[in-house]
Copies of this chain bind each other. A is one copy, B any other.
Amino acid sequence: MQASTGKLQALFRQQFPGLIMPLSAAEAVSALAAIAGSEAVIADTSRMGAYLNEPRKRFHQTAAAVVLPAGVETLQAIVRWANENRVGLIPQGGNTGLVGAQVPLTGTEVIVSLSRFDRIRAIDTAAGVMTAEAGVILENAHRAAEAQGAMFPLWLASQGSARIGGVLSSNAGGVNVLAYGNARELTMGVEAVLADGRLYRGLNALKKDNTGYDLKDLLVGAEGTLAIITAASLKIFPLPEDHETALVNVASPEAALELFQFMRQRAGSRLNAFELIPAIGLEFQLRHGMLDADPTASPSPWYALIELTRMAGTAPGALQQALETALEGGLASDAVIAESLADRTRMWAFREQMSECQSKEGASIKHDVSVPIAAIPRLIAEGSAAAERLSPGIRPVPFGHMGDGNIHFNFSQPPGADARSFMARYDEAIHTAIYDVVLRLGGSVSAEHGIGQLKVDLLRQVKDPVALDMMRAIKTALDPNGILNPGKMLA
């Protein structure tokens, strides 16, 4: 059957030399093996699981093949072949993305895994630059920097699996954004393969360089639709000597916002984190034995996890002094400062276990949204009210990066409800209600995770149409045959 399809296509190509016939999976596999070596190609669907199964278990599509090129020139040859034959390519890192950008849509695509691009090419602590290939695991990038007394300050829950190319393509950024910025701000330059197979050599790591358009920032966050990132020059920073961490009792999101302004005024760029956590999070975590002790000073409806960096040669105590002033001024009602590494670890566990503790309480509807910082209290109030009207007894669990405006506005099912019917009945309605509030407040419907396949339609509904047109024009200009991650981000 394959042979006759192949002969038929060969006949068509002979008769109509300009006509591009879609390749069969077998033809694709054969061509890729010729380019990359057969050991670098996975043709058997039953062996593709690690590349097809994404973390949210939402997308279940196969691929024509998975190819794992060993180096840039092989990757370039693959892309040239794909461009000539109109084969869709999906660049993939650690397969940790949450919106399906890294897995197939139609089943005819070839997944290109960058996992073998795993070298740290250079570290220059004097210059504050680390050059890492796209397949380097984020945690390994951290270790490489620390081995030289520096840090690469981009921390994600998935850092044990996420790889640099994917981190940059999704412009990832977690707790670190407040002090150090997101992936885009931590990237000085990229090397990438374009849709026609040519190599964009943009690794130069100059802080001041006004010789043309900012192509680097265009490629970062483009979710693999404009080029395939192969390496990046990343900013690394001197390691702080220590951190000062506290868990502070605040009465409300409004009070937390005031405390945030105060801390920002006092600490400036030393403010490393300001995370908002609701009391329900403590309730969930204690109930399910997720904390070895209660990390808080006393009961409170809300908590702020606050952290300052301290560089060598600076006297400790800045956080204590700031909190004393805050307590005197009524900006907070109680606080406890970490006195040991164990204290600090426990406080951060309290914050980092928020998603996990929800899963122990049944179904959860999640939103990755941001609003202007001053609108956070309204987001929480209006969003919670809207959700309660739809599903009485639903439990709001909003937490996250107050200093960025990025709140993980999640909702746990009412206690005792049936998880499956709760999700079936309310998932879409709650999303619509929350996105309405977010957009009304001038916010974003995807603060961190990106668009991928999950939010393509949503983007088309909510994004400024002029911006969408600009994006489409740029996409067409850089990828005229539409082979780079087709169907992701833009329809």
Contacts and interface: CB of A to CB of B under 8 A. Distances in A.
Interface of A: 124-129, 170-171, 173, 177, 179, 182, 184-185, 194, 198-202, 204-215, 217-218, 220-222, 226, 237-238, 240, 257, 261, 264-270, 309, 311-315, 318, 321-322, 325, 370-374, 401, 403-406, 442-451, 455, 459, 462-464, 466-471, 473-474, 476-478, 489
A228 to B, nearest CB: 14
A312 B266 contact: yes
B268 A311 contact: yes
Contacts of A470: 194, 200, 213, 215, 478
A179 B207 CA distance: 12
Given A211-B451, A476-B477, 7 more contacts: A171-B214, A210-B450, A212-B467, A213-B470, A238-B268, A240-B268, A265-B312
Count copies of this chain in the complex.
2
A424 B199 CA distance: 40
Interface centre among A199, A226, A371, A373 (most CB of B within 10 A): A373
A265 B444 CA distance: 36
A200 B470 CA distance: 9
Contacts of A237: 268
A449 B210 contact: yes
A277 to B, nearest CB: 18
Contacts of A370: 206-209
Given A213-B474, A374-B127, A173 B466 contact: no
A212 B226 CA distance: 12
A297 to B, nearest CB: 21
B126 A215 contact: no
Given A215-B471, A268-B240, A451-B210, A466 B313 contact: no
12 contacts: A126-B257, A184-B214, A201-B467, A208-B401, A209-B444, A210-B447, A210-B451, A211-B444, A213-B222, A218-B218, A313-B321, A313-B325
